Amino acid sequence: MRKRVICLGMSLLLLVTSFSASFTAFANQNAKTDTQLNEETQAVVDALNSSSKLSSYYDYYNHHISDTSHIGYVSVKGTDFTKADSSKIEEVDGVKAVVLDSGNEWVEYEIDIPEDGKYGISIDYYQMPHKEKDIEITIKVDGKIPFIESQQMALPRLWEDDIDPDNVPEGAYFECSDKNGAADDIRPSQREKSIWTTRDLIDLRGSYSEPYQYYLTAGKHIVRMELEREAVAIASISFGNDADAISYNDYIAQFSDADYVKSADGEDLTIKQQAEETFSKNNITLYPTYDKSGASTEPNDPAYTKLNTIGQANWSTNGFEFVWKVNAKKAGLYKLSIRARQNFNEGMFSYRALKINGEIPFKEAEAIKFKYRQGWYMLTLGNGDKENPKDYYVHLNEGENSVSLTCTTGDMDAVLRNIQQSVLQLNEIYRQIISVTSVQPDVYRDYTLDQQIPTLEDDLKAAEKFLKETSKIVQNITGTAGSQASSIDYVTKIVGELAVDPYIIPERLSSFKAAIETLGGLITTIGKLALEIDYLVFQPVDEATPPVGKGFINSLGFSCQQFISSFTVDYNMTATDGATADKADIVKVWVSTGRDQANIINRLIKDNADKLVTADGKKISIQLSMVDTGATLIRATLSGKGPDCALMIGENTPMELAARGALLPLTKYKAALADQFYESAWTPFYYQNELYALPETQVFDLMFYRTDVFEEMGIEPPKTWDDFYYVMEILQNSNLVVGVPEIDSANAGVSAGIRTFDKFLVQNGGTYYNDDLSETLFTTEKGYSAFEKWVELYSMYGLDRSFDFYSRFRTGEMPLALQSYTSYNQLKTAAPELNGLWSIATIPGTKMEDGTVNIGQTSINAGCIMLKSAKTKNIEEAASVFLSWWVSADTQAEYARELEATLGVAARYNPANKVAFEALGWTADEAAVITEQWESVTAMPEIPGNYLLKRAITSAFRSVMNGKNTPRRALTIYNTDINDEIMRKRIEFGIE
């Protein structure tokens, strides 16, 4: 990972140095002839090659743009390797294959290439059991990695719905907690579908709709495949490309009149395939979804949620695919209609490739366009011509056919790669500008930008031209000047104005930055081609397409039923498991999360019924309710309507409740779990030497930095605060800024902590309270010095006190920042153009006397609690079994996995359980950084009255910043308030 990042950074650096030449070359590619283009790009690529650094596929692609693609395949068997690194040959599912199952194992093959040209790679593989993530491999040709992307070739795992046929109600497809179907469908978990499958190596971002093309000369080549992640068995590898699919006219000409399926009396030849009943899918997030918006989606129920559609926002990444098995009574040509809804991408099309029995039948099916519309519509495969419509028929065999729809970017791929390139280029220009003007330029000053950055005008003009061309492509595709095209035009206009008159740049800098952000946002919207489908229907060619809706009267009736049932159905209760249990011993659990999370927990409870038993073998019944457990929890407890257990409780609540005697101590359950957690996970949950919560999550800060900027400036991510100040100085010389959150405003919780102050304090060996937790220790030398260092960051080093980390990090004007490690998720999902350009590291530390660096900090924790009512109801044992099960490694890992599967990487869970953490999708390097930081985390105990701590420290800080106090004086004064409150609370709770 590290090596990769550096390589990437270096290559970007090179790109930057040869910026003007290369940029002009790429920008003008459409205007120039291929030879001209080649000469110019050749220079760049040669420069790249000469320094043996990796180029991106963008450069590689452009360099080889005029080379021919080889049609037909050269295959080599997986077992026929010439060299290998301890790879095993095994028979997997009846096929002899080579198995790669531990990190960096590799195999080498010798292949004989018939002619010079571009070759796609297609691999016949089998997913071996491992951590359930997609398999990643590196492809090297003759010992070299041809382009950066070749290091992360993904081979997706296949999945299917995990359905237990015994629990499925009559006539339904999905499980339901009620045998008659009178309840919400339970979203099935996804289980691996282990079958042999063949897949081309493609770009998941969708910038290239064809597979990655490797340029190979005629003759023998050594191709090495190295495993990066997971485990895989390989049966064969093929090099080459499919011939272009035939046109529909050629396709249909193959069939005679007898092949057209016509409706026949007494025989229903129509095949309706509910889209949610899939055979397989190639991503774990492609689970069944539901549409409750109207009566027409099948199947439906006014009161309950029925899983009746598939796709939605998760089905938006290039290559994501559903496979259905449809049974045809008669072989022949059918008319295909799809009931679909595309209300995700306004003004744009979502493209899908249709395959019948593994092959795209004709060219027109390579990218079927689903247009944007708010409601559902029927799309009948055809020429799409309004005046002269013609349906396209597809041929099905008698018996089982496999039908698949694959997400593809179609002809939008060129737009995507242009925009990605533009964003990188404009960000580079932006950074060059602010290195002269700073981010907050003086508009009345002439910075002589044209002299300071001689290439500026040309760069801007080239960028403008490039954008103009991109906009034209978009308009050609969408046919209208939709919102995407107008966003590009808006950016083009701003860039153009700057190019004409560089003197206005200081004044327009913020709008220039906003424009780049707009463009960056487009990558996510254009590259995400979401679609939702209800069913596919194959009909005899002479039948009319079924209507899209059920008509007004039915819809009205359905809506009325929906409204009426909203009074009777308890939507907050996800399910009551245990129809056999009598009411008294049900463990009532409250959870304050979204519905998806609650559903996952519910499913976990159901799946683990065998683990949820008391010592005498009695099954535990659990009732899960979604309640926002803030003040409600206390009020409900007071009125006797509270739960027995509550999950996802902030770190100060257990202490607050325990001090009032509302909780049961959980100390005796710690021993069995202790080795799965760091000690810091438990600390906040102690009150008077008893433990009152079991840890669920733990969050702390990491250092985020832009590898490209760091490479460019020749600096290393800082390890200590001294390094940090040094790096900060270098960055500030170029008018770049560093982000350190002043006060953790995102976590406004009472004791969320004053995160930066904490870091200095903890690293000094300081702590909040004295040993008997009766007083703070801020007015010690350690406290004063930590407070002073904290204040100095803003008063002396002039850091911004509030900033928008995400957008500033994205443009690169803030290439270094300390942020909660959950920011990783946001960057990963919402800033795809930055992939590979940033990295995480441990926070700066303080050098200790023995030479080690203390990178300590505090964490924010959450946990689960057991309330007094569990004792009065005599279900303490059952509740404790549940809680211990819930925080255990297996459950937390499964929850995390399911959560990520349901909501994507953006929802990556941050378990306090360190064993569960290992099962998450972090790469080894990322996990190592997080673990190293985690080990140094301490947590502060929670004590009554500590809500005043954050307030007082904040006020002390602000009074210094507002020039009202000196740091020491402020801390001393406000510290008195904290201690007074602590004392008062100690008396109230009878501790003193």
Residues that bind other proteins (CB under 8 A): 439-440, 442-444, 510, 631, 634-635, 637-638, 656-657, 660-662, 748, 750, 798, 800-804, 947, 951, 954-955, 958-959, 961-962, 964, 988
Q: How far is the CB of 561 from other proteins (least distance, A)?
A: 31
Q: How far is the CB of 622 from other proteins (least distance, A)?
A: 24
Beta-sheet pairing, 645-650 with 587-591: parallel
Q: How far is the CB of 988 from other proteins (least distance, A)?
A: 8
Structure tokens at 917: 């953490």
Q: How far is the CB of 762 from other proteins (least distance, A)?
A: 25
Q: Do the Cβ atoms of 428 and 708 come closer than 8 Å? A: no
Q: How far is the CB of 687 from other proteins (least distance, A)?
A: 14
Q: How far is the CB of 786 from other proteins (least distance, A)?
A: 20
Beta-sheet pairing, 587-591 with 853-854: unpaired
Q: How far apart are CA 587 and CA 579, in angstroms?
A: 13
Q: Which is nearer to other proteins, 243 or 631 (CB)?
A: 631
Structure tokens at 79: 């077992």
Q: How far is the CB of 979 from other proteins (least distance, A)?
A: 15
Q: What b-and-e string marks burial along 553-589, b requiring 16 or more CB atoms within 10 Å of the CB?
A: eeeeebeeebeeeeeebeeeebbbbbeebeeebbbbb
In sequence order, what DSSP letters do the residues of 90-152 get, joined into one string?
EEETTEEEEEE-STT-EEEEEEEE-SSEEEEEEEEEEEPSSSSSPEEEEEEETTB--SGGGG-
Q: Which is nearer to other proteins, 41 or 652 (CB)?
A: 652
Q: Which is nearer to other proteins, 540 or 945 (CB)?
A: 945
Q: How far apart are CA 411 and CA 418, in angstroms?
A: 12
Q: How far is the CB of 66 from other proteins (least distance, A)?
A: 46
| Element housing 975 (H / E) | helix 967-988
Q: How far is the CB of 634 from other proteins (least distance, A)?
A: 5
What percent helix, strand, coil does the chain show, rounded to 5? 40, 25, 40
Q: How far is the CB of 661 from other proteins (least distance, A)?
A: 6
Q: How far is the CB of 684 from other proteins (least distance, A)?
A: 16
Q: Which is nearer to other proteins, 443 or 906 (CB)?
A: 443
- Half-sphere exposure for 449 (CA within 13 Å, toward CB): 30
Q: Which is nearer to other proteins, 309 or 637 (CB)?
A: 637
Q: How far is the CB of 951 from other proteins (least distance, A)?
A: 6
Question: Which is nearest to 120 in space by CA: 247, 38, 237?
Answer: 237
Q: Which is nearer to other proteins, 211 or 753 (CB)?
A: 753
How many beta carbons lie within 10 A of that of residue 372, not counting itself?
A: 16
Q: How far is the CB of 426 from other proteins (least distance, A)?
A: 19
Q: What b-and-e string marks burial along 102-138, b requiring 16 or more CB atoms within 10 Å of the CB?
A: eeebbbbbebebeeebbbbbbbbbbbbeeebbbbbbb
Burial of 224 (0-12, 13-18, 19+ CB in 10 A): buried
Q: How far apart are CA 594 and CA 830, in angstroms?
A: 21
What letter represents residue 871's amino acid?
K
Q: Which is nearer to other proteins, 24 or 819 (CB)?
A: 819
Q: How far apart are CA 351 and CA 530, in angstroms?
A: 9
Beta-sheet pairing, 622-626 with 587-591: parallel
Q: Which is nearer to other proteins, 719 or 951 (CB)?
A: 951
Q: How far apart are CA 292 and CA 306, in angstroms?
A: 8
Q: How far is the CB of 470 from other proteins (least distance, A)?
A: 28
Q: Which is nearer to other proteins, 7 or 991 (CB)?
A: 991
| Element housing 707 (H / E) | helix 707-713
Q: How far is the CB of 802 from other proteins (least distance, A)?
A: 5
Q: Which is nearer to other proteins, 138 or 807 (CB)?
A: 807
Q: Which is nearer to other proteins, 716 or 988 (CB)?
A: 988
Q: How far apart are CA 770 and CA 964, in angstroms?
A: 29
How many beta carbons lie within 10 A of that of residue 654, not counting itself?
A: 29
Structure tokens at 546: 């079924």
Question: Which is nearest to 665 in space by CA: 696, 683, 634, 688?
Answer: 688
Q: Do the Cβ atoms of 372 and 342 come closer than 8 Å? A: yes
3-state secondary structure of 702: strand
Give the start-end residues of each E strand in 230-320. 232-241, 271-274, 280-281, 288-289, 309-312
Please, which residues have CB within 8 angstroms of residue 738's CB and are 6 or more apart in sequence?
A: 724, 727, 728, 731, 732, 799, 814, 816, 817
Structure tokens at 570: 């308890």
Q: Which is nearer to other proteins, 739 or 904 (CB)?
A: 739
DSSP letter assigned to residue 662: -
Q: Which is nearer to other proteins, 584 or 748 (CB)?
A: 748
Q: How far is the CB of 801 from other proteins (least distance, A)?
A: 6
Q: Which is nearer to other proteins, 568 or 802 (CB)?
A: 802
SS (H, E, C) 566-628: CCCCCCCEEEECCCCCCHHHCEEEEECCCHHHHHHHHHHHHHCCCCCECCCCCECCEEEEECC
Q: Which is nearer to other proteins, 280 or 869 (CB)?
A: 869
Q: How far is the CB of 214 from other proteins (least distance, A)?
A: 46
Q: Which is nearer to other proteins, 182 or 443 (CB)?
A: 443
Q: Which is nearer to other proteins, 624 or 866 (CB)?
A: 866
Q: How far is the CB of 693 from other proteins (least distance, A)?
A: 16
Give the start-end residues of each E strand in 722-847. 738-739, 816-820, 838-841, 846-847
Q: Which is nearer to other proteins, 857 or 946 (CB)?
A: 946
